[in-house]
């Protein structure tokens, strides 16, 4: 078994002790993330003051926006993985790319669904064709296309190369979500953070960060959790899973060919 592992190009294997340290670090990070989620929920649902206009519905924002930025971080990781793969041709970068896209999609869906739940009472509709919502949905579809592209190519090297190229191009859809509500004046999606170039008079449901006690703190905590802890932990798990799957595949090939 050890010989089989050594024969595969992927297993420029870490020594066993180092692998164990990695596993321990991952376990610690996972536990930290779980506590982070619970603490974030406590801050958002209990500690932060109730919004005077929107009531408790506003609290969904503590997950809604940070999860988008978590998705952005994951998609950004896919871009980094893509560029590094094209430069170095090391499989690990492609694995990072794939993991980034999958986790980005998951977090973007959290973002979409929480947004729809919030919009039902505030905008009186689950979904409207607001530019930002549409751009966000298109972003998810772009990355779904990325997964389709991957599954459509048989040659593994070609698959990695093409996935890297499309992963880089696909990031434009993320930038669209960020830019659109700032330049198209007809959006009703509020811009809470960052510069606004065309202030939308139609924005419904924005709020002041300093308005009530604990709002800023709750948002800060949830930002750390949803933008960094959750994506990084999931990325790590997904990469580890992929490495294990690759190793199983290599061992299978080895066993069949001997």
236, 221 Cβ separation under 8 angstroms: no
Look at residues 30, 35, 61 and name the one whose alpha carbon lies nearest to residue 48.
61
**Span of 92-100, 118-126, 140-148, 227-235 interacting with other proteins by CB under 8 A:** 140-148
Binding to other proteins (CB under 8 A) within 108-137 occurs at: 135
Distance CA 108, CA 65 (A): 10
Kindly state whether residue 139 participates in binding other proteins, applying the rule CB under 8 A: yes
Distance CA 93, CA 95 (A): 5
Minimum CB separation of residue 174 from other proteins in Å reads 11
**Span of 39-47, 63-71, 172-180, 203-211 interacting with other proteins by CB under 8 A:** 172-180
**Span of 12-20, 145-153, 188-196, 229-237 interacting with other proteins by CB under 8 A:** 145-153
Kindly state whether residue 93 participates in binding other proteins, applying the rule CB under 8 A: no
Per DSSP, the residues of 41-57 read HHIIIIISPPBTTTBGG
Q: Taking the CB of residue 19, how many other CB atoms lie within 10 A of it?
A: 12
Kindly state whether residue 145 participates in binding other proteins, applying the rule CB under 8 A: yes
What DSSP state is assigned to residue 123? T
Binding site residues, other proteins, CB under 8 A: 86, 135, 138-139, 141-142, 145, 148-149, 152-155, 157-158, 161-162, 164-166, 168-170, 172-173, 176, 180, 183
């Amino acid at each position: 078994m050890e010989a089989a592992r050594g024969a595969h190009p992927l297993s420029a294997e870490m020594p066993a002790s180092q692998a164990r340290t990695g596993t321990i670090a991952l376990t610690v990070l996972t536990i930290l993330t779980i506590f982070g989620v619970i603490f974030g929920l406590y801050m958002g649902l209990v500690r932060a003051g109730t919004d005077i206009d929107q009531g408790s519905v506003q609290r969904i924002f503590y997950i809604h926006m940070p999860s988008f930025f978590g998705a952005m971080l994951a998609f950004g990781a896919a871009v980094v993985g893509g560029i590094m793969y094209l430069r170095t041709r090391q499989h690990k970068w492609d694995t990072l790319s794939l993991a980034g896209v999958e986790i980005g999609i998951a977090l973007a869906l959290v973002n979409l669904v929480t947004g729809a739940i919030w919009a039902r009472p505030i905008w009186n509709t689950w979904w409207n064709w607001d530019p930002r919502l549409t751009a966000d949905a298109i972003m998810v579809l772009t990355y779904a296309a990325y997964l389709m592209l991957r599954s459509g190519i048989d040659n593994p090297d070609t698959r990695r190369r093409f996935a890297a190229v499309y992963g880089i191009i696909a990031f434009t859809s993320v930038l669209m979500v960020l830019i659109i509500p700032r330049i198209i004046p007809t959006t009703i999606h509020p811009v809470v953070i960052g510069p606004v170039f065309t202030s939308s008079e139609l924005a419904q449901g924005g709020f002041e960060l300093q308005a009530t006690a604990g709002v800023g703190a709750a948002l800060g905590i949830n930002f750390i959790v949803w933008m960094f802890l959750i994506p990084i932990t999931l990325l790590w798990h997904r990469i580890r899973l992929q490495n294990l799957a690759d190793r199983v595949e290599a061992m299978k090939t080895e066993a069949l060919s001997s």
